Amino acid sequence: MNRLSAWLAILALTVPLAAPAQLPDAVDGEPLPSLAPMLERTTPAVVNIATTGRVQLRENPLFQDPFFQRFFDLPDRPRERATQSLGSGVIIDAERGHILTNHHVIARADEIRVTLADGRELSASVVGSDPDTDVAVIRVEGNALQAIPMADSDSLRVGDFVVAIGNPFGLGQTVTSGIVSALGRSGLNLSSYQDYIQTDASINPGNSGGALVNLRGELVGINTAILAPAGGNIGIGFAIPVNMAISIMQQLVDHGEVSRGQLGVSIQDLPPQLAQAFGLDRERGVVVTQVLPGSPAEQAGVRTGDVIREVNGRSIQNASELRNAIGLLRSGDEAELRLHRDGESVTVVAEIGAITQATLDGSTLSPRLEGARFGMLEVSGPRSTEQRVGVAEITDGSPAQRAGLRRDDIILSVNRQPVSSLSDLRQQAEGSRELLLHIQRGSGALFLLLR
């Protein structure tokens, strides 16, 4: 029994009846509400996705030693293993065969097979994929495809009924129901840009990339992840809002990639004490703590101490919302910023600039860092953003990867000396026979010793 039916059943039981209470066949001559008619219209737009691929295995560093390889006559090539993945997707454009799904569903896939609700199996190709938002678009060629209608996810409210449709555990198309438990969830270390819908509709492995719809059968989100400390569903699932997913999809379809721009500011949330200090009656917006020289923000007239409250008419509540709003714009787009400055409201227009940053090739520092490229990465916490030295790129199978480095690792120190810039990294690492790296990875930290 779904939640809506259960609620109506409880309501019916409160009406005095002469006979023992029982579930009626109809209410006021009308049949009991059912989600079946909506699902009959919606489920043909949700597909199952199966992928196959290959990944390189991490080996003991001893196996990479040339002397060890010669002594034991080991082959000098990386070991691989076959991988399989199951997920879901949603048909957005039936005419062009475009399907929206998660990046992690199709990442490193050599072959993608899509199974439609009517049982047809089609081969798919990747149109584009964006790991920073975990959004991907794939394409199939087939007749009589059915696209899903879309809602405005900005109009969602906590408490709205929603239905999740997907392929959990490879069982085949499955429907679960729940409500919107929360909006604007971030700080979950799931992707770089986070603005998740939280729901208690049951989401499990295989649901990734599937549809979260309202009771009209309109797409409100793309199911992405669950919080599962014990390995199973506990009623805390997350979906990417459809407005964000469609914005990313349009860039992937038009350009094959997402070309993000930057505003050029460091920011922090506005707690009540700061709000009072800035003369605001409520803590809505973010405080500019630094304006980078030559940045679009500086050119537009943004100053340190300004409180950014709106971007292109969209209200900004916290640092995460500002980062998402700017991150969805392309280089060259304009951003109209409404600021609070010295007790007055000020509006400026900034032309979003391309993200250009210096990088450092790891091979110029040490042979052990070959294959890694370091840069200044934007680290976003729940209440602020800042620039830190990190691994911007890494090559599969390279010495740096075999040593344990991963993309987006933040370098906190080298040989116990703190690192806050690329010049610091060069000074501490260049020419060192041994490297002790202190690394932040996600919400954890570790030491790596490279010899």
Which residues are the active-site residues? 104, 134, 208
| Beta bridge partner(s), residue 126 | 138
Q: CA-CA distance, 271 to 449, in Å (whole number)?
A: 40
Q: Concatenated DSSP letters for 271-331?
A: -HHHHHHTT-SS--SEEEEEE-TTSHHHHHT--TT-EEEEETTEE--SHHHHHHHHHTSBT
- Strands of 57-195 (E only): list them: 80-93, 98-101, 109-115, 121-130, 135-140, 161-166, 174-185
Residue type, 434: E
Maximum separation of any 2 CA atoms in the chain, in Å: 91
Q: How many helices (H) and strands (E) does the chain have?
A: 10, 29
Listed residue (428, 399, 423, 446) closest to 63, CA to CA: 399
CA distances from 125 to 138, 139, 140, 218 (A): 5, 5, 7, 26
Q: CA-CA distance, 348 to 29, in Å (whole number)?
A: 59
Listed residue (266, 103, 87, 88) closest to 191, CA to CA: 103
**Phi, psi (5° rounding) for residue 174?**
-135, 145
Listed residue (346, 341, 347) closest to 288, CA to CA: 341
